[in-house]
Structure 1
Amino acid sequence: MATCPPYPTHPTGPAGPGDGALRHAHWWQKRWVRYGALSTLLALSGLVILALVREQTGTEGFLVGLGLAVLPVPLLVASFRWLDRVEPGPWRNLVFSFAWGACAAALIAIIANSFATQWIATATADPSHADTLGATVIAPVVEETAKAAALLLVFLFRRQDFTGIVDGVVIAGVTATGFAFTENILYLGTAFGTDQLTGDSGIASVTAATFFVRIIMSPFAHPLFTVLCGIGFGAAALSGERQHARRVLLPLLGLLLAMGMHAMWNGSSSFGEYGFFAVYAAFMVPAFGLLTWMVIWTRQRELRTVREELPAYVVAGWLSPGEPFVLGSMRARRVARQYARGRGGRVAAREVARYEAYATSLAFLRHRGRRGRAGADFVGRERELLRELWRRREIARPALEHAAATAQPWPGHGYGYGASAPAPWQPYGQAPGAVQRPAYGPVYGGPAHDPAYGPVAPYPVNNPYRT
């Protein structure tokens, strides 16, 4: 019996026009240079923000603020990570987002807000008016723009990890969590310093009141504002590459909405004695509930997309019949990982999790292609994902087949959702004159009808990225 290769071979096309440019790239265009410069920038920002906050709060106030401000961080990060479980993004994006919010964005906000408030106070000779204007107008614009910069950087330079609304929500939420963490250290440390001067303590202290408002009542405030901008970037990611206006206007609209809600929240204290509680009950809580529902609904739609797109790769011989069902159910995925952990330990479970993530990315890639939104790297990205699946099939398939058999009953059509198998040639969209594009099937151990190239779907003839 022939031994299966680690991954199927593919026909290699001629080198593209950019290949030589990549080989002869200037030193400042290399990835490690960009990553090193960004890491240095964030580290320097962190040191500066640490010195500024410590100068305003004192060492003891800083430590108290740090200890209290860190409490909601694990819960918020875990919540956003849970939303991202269908197609988990890499941890480095989350680390960058949190660091940007806690260091770079916070530093920009402190410097810009202080400068603008002092300028207004000098120009108007009215410090109290300057503080109110700074909180309700300047701070929302500066802070939301600084946090949105993290979204823009991930959107531009980690584009393959930014494919939809959930990605935008997660990056925005983690960035805002980092920003709120630093801001809470400042507010709580300052409140503690005030209590030290006045001698107040217990529940009547300024520290206790600040902790209740910022940590208990509204830990989600900053994430809620920035998530509106994240939704705009996520909607832009779903737009076609030729829809330039949508890709620019949707993030800007989300940013404006984030600024507006932030301004209303900051200005609530000027609406009267109960203005804060009125804004909290009438706007913040309903908005939080609505956005939570929308994100969970989007997550369920992503699972449905996985179930609908992957059967084409079953036809081509890349996936086993039960895999679309398992990969389209979070419960079944968990069963597969648990089975792999019981048979092969943590390494096997981790490989199954990676298999699930790559298969999900493959489903989303095909979904974008079927809607005419595939980028120029469609074919290369598809090959890359299929290679990763093929390398892990020996470990992942037994676990996935076990999950398909035991997670819950499913119809015996081989596709897990009661539908008959799709035709081997299924057009991408409704484009007239669609032509057949061969997909890349396994060389050995593949489908009987074509051991070299298992057809997945034709590619539309009017797509500018067709090869």
Structure 2
Amino acid sequence: MAISPPFPPHPPNPPQPGGAPEGGVLRHAHWWQRTGVRYGALITLLALSGLVILALVREQTGTQGFLVGLGLAVLPVPLLIAAFRWLDRVEPGPWRNLVFAFAWGACAAALIAIVANSFATRWIATATADPSGADTLGATVIAPVVEESAKAAAVLLVFLFRRRDFTGLVDGVVIAGITATGFAFTENILYLGNAFGTDQLTGDGGIASVTAATFFVRVIMSPFAHPLFTVLTGIGFGVAALSGERQRVRRVLLPLSGLLLAMGMHALWNGSSVLGEWGFFAVYGAFMVPAFAVLTWLVVWTRQRELGTVREELPAYAAAGWISPAEPYALGSMRARRLARDHARRHLGKPAAREVARYEAYATSLAFLRHRGRLGRAGADFVVRERELLNELWRRKDIARPALDHAARMTAPPVPVAVPPWAVYGAPGYGQGYGRPAGPGPYPWHPQHPLQAPAPQPLHARPGYSGYVPHPPYPRPQQHEG
């Protein structure tokens, strides 16, 4: 069974420009392959889409209607973003991915939807014998396909080009949910602005009946509607991310299945409007609310399972000396993580708290990487990525370890048995005729205590594992400086 060799005494040289391998021939990247060019093109595309969608919405609603719609549509956005960020607290993704997802949904996806839906509705009205049904057909058939495909494009882009940030189901849910939140924000501006214009035409001053009814249905009753649809697509991509690189058929079929489910639920929701008032509430109560509850339970359960993965995978690194014995327990508890950041903030200031937060994120990524390696789903860059994450942890250990050890002591359950004073590690007389505990610490030792749990079975001894076996920390260049 192939095992990677131990770490070299120093980290390898960074990749050379143009993607040349280490020691290979230096090749200059084409101009369109440069990171700056790609970022510039993406920002330009989103900015132009935003300007065009702004002009289109303002043209349809008028300036006053646009401002009213904007003021009302923004209300649920902070709550939805906060909810998705809460789900992503175990392994928080970078903000740039979330900003891109929201901007894509609010600008690019909304522009595609407005243009494609308008064109399709006009084509249906001219091609069919009954033009009166064009709007209904467009809303129930065309709109779900166009809108869900446009939103899914953002998830696909992150999945393809930010693969290291897209490692599981929660990542798919968060990216999809943020994208749909941006899309719903723009769509709500349009609907609320048009409703306000209708009230103005009927002679009602201010925000009257149509605007209030639209606000109640779209913002109060169903702010989660668009996120719910697109989250199904995100789940498909998230499960595909957990699949091995050789399972190509599965990695294609799962996202497509999620997209088809999203389109189907979206069509059911839009079609409920033609069933009358009671039909709408029947679909809302029989399908939307239960689906929202089930998906919420699934994501929260997955979040707790991720914490369990952290507690299970990190002890191997504690046994090798990379982290302290208490850290796997502390990093597997959101309460302990928060206490560690608070402890660092009180004693060393906000920059130290940010370093502890980064340490927690890198340690979580390391646990997930090792878990994928144990299941045979890690990529070819497993060893390189593991080394990078260990480097990041080692750089921050002097700040993070004391905070996490403190948090572990504050949150650990009591020792389940009475331990005499002479059995406390570090106390006078300790160790006379008794075995040393599995890890250091000023706490009583018991084999079942989470802070003193013995190291798990090495991964290379488990069936099917062909990944890297962690070795003790190796010297860093900065240790020899000065």
Compute the TM-score of the two structures, normalised by the length of structure 2: 0.86
Q: Which residue number in structure 1 is paired with residue 147 of structure 2?
A: 143
Q: Give the deviation of 1:344 after TM superposition.
A: 1.0
Question: What code does the residue aligned with 1:211 have?
Answer: F
**Any conservation in 1 of the 2:176–2:234 contact (CA below 8 Å)?**
yes
Out of 156, 166, 183, the residue aligned to residue 152 of structure 1 is 156
Decide whether the 8 Å contact of 1:321 with 1:415 is kept in 2.
no
Compare 89-98 and 28-37 and name the one that shifted more. Answer: 28-37
Give, in angstroms, the shift of residue 422 of structure 1: 1.6
Structure 1 residue 430: Cα displacement: 1.2
Q: Could you tell me how far apart the structure 1 residues matched to 2:192 and 2:316 are?
A: 55
1:22 & 1:68 partners in 2: Cα distance? 55
Q: What is the distance in 2 between the residues matched to 1:435 and 1:185?
A: 53
For the residues of structure 1 that align with 2:466 and 2:342, how far apart are their CA atoms? 42
Please name the residue that 2:472 is paired with: 441
| Cα RMSD after superposing both structures | 2.2
| Cα separation, 2, equivalents of 1:27 and 1:190 | 45
Of 192, 197, 204 in structure 2, the residue corresponding to residue 193 of structure 1 is 197
Q: Shift in Å at residue 201 of structure 1?
A: 5.0
What amino acid is the match of 1:394? Answer: D
Counterpart Cα distance in 1 of 2:221 and 2:26:
51
Partner of 1:312: 316
Work out whether 1:96 is the aligned partner of 2:100: yes
Letter of the aligned partner of 2:217 in structure 1?
A: V
- Paired residues, number: 436
Q: Which residue of 2 aligns with 1:68?
A: 72
Pick aligned residue for 1:430 from 463, 466, 480: 463
- In structure 2, do the counterparts of structure 1 residues 279 and 435 end up closer, same or farther at CA, with 3 Å as the change threshold? closer
Deviation at 1:199, TM superposition (A): 1.6
Would the aligned equivalents of 1:371 and 1:429 in 2 still touch at CA under 8 Å? no
Written as runs of structure 1 = structure 2, the 5 A alignment for 1:38-187 is 38-187=42-191
Report % sequence identity.
78
What residue in structure 2 maps to residue 346 of structure 1? 350
The Cα shift of 1:27 comes to: 1.3
Deviation of the 1:31 alpha carbon: 1.0
Q: Rate the CA distance shift 1:437–1:304 in 2: closer, same or farther, 3 A.
A: closer
CA distance in 2, matches of 1:316, 1:162: 28
Change (3 A) 1:184 1:8: farther
Question: In the alignment, is residue 416 of structure 1 matched against residue 447 of structure 2?
Answer: no
- SS of 2:455's partner is coil
Report the AA paired with residue 421 of structure 1.
A
In structure 2, the partner of 1:296 is: 300
Aligned counterparts of 2:405 and 2:450: Cα–Cα separation in 1 = 12
**Offset of residue 202 of structure 1:** 7.3
Residue 287 (structure 1) shift: 0.3
CA drift at 1:435: 7.0
TM superposition score normalised by structure 1: 0.89
The offset of 1:399, in angstroms, is 0.3
Secondary structure at the aligned position of 1:109 is classed as helix
In structure 2, how many angstroms separate the alpha carbons of the residues matched to 1:203 and 1:62?
Answer: 13
Does the Cα contact within 8 Å between 1:370 and 1:428 map onto a contact in 2?
A: no
Report how far residue 428 of structure 1 moved: 6.8
Query: How far apart are the structure 1 equivalents of 2:266 and 2:461?
Result: 42
Shift of 1:405: 0.9
Identify unmatched segments of 5+ residues in structure 1: 1-6, 446-467
- Structure 2 counterparts to residues 168-317 of structure 1, below 5 A: 168-201=172-205, 205-317=209-321
Segment of structure 1 superposing worse, 289-298 or 413-422 = 413-422
Distance 1:57 1:200 in 2: 16
Letter in 1 for 2:460: P
For 1:436 and 1:153, the matched residues in 2 are separated by 28
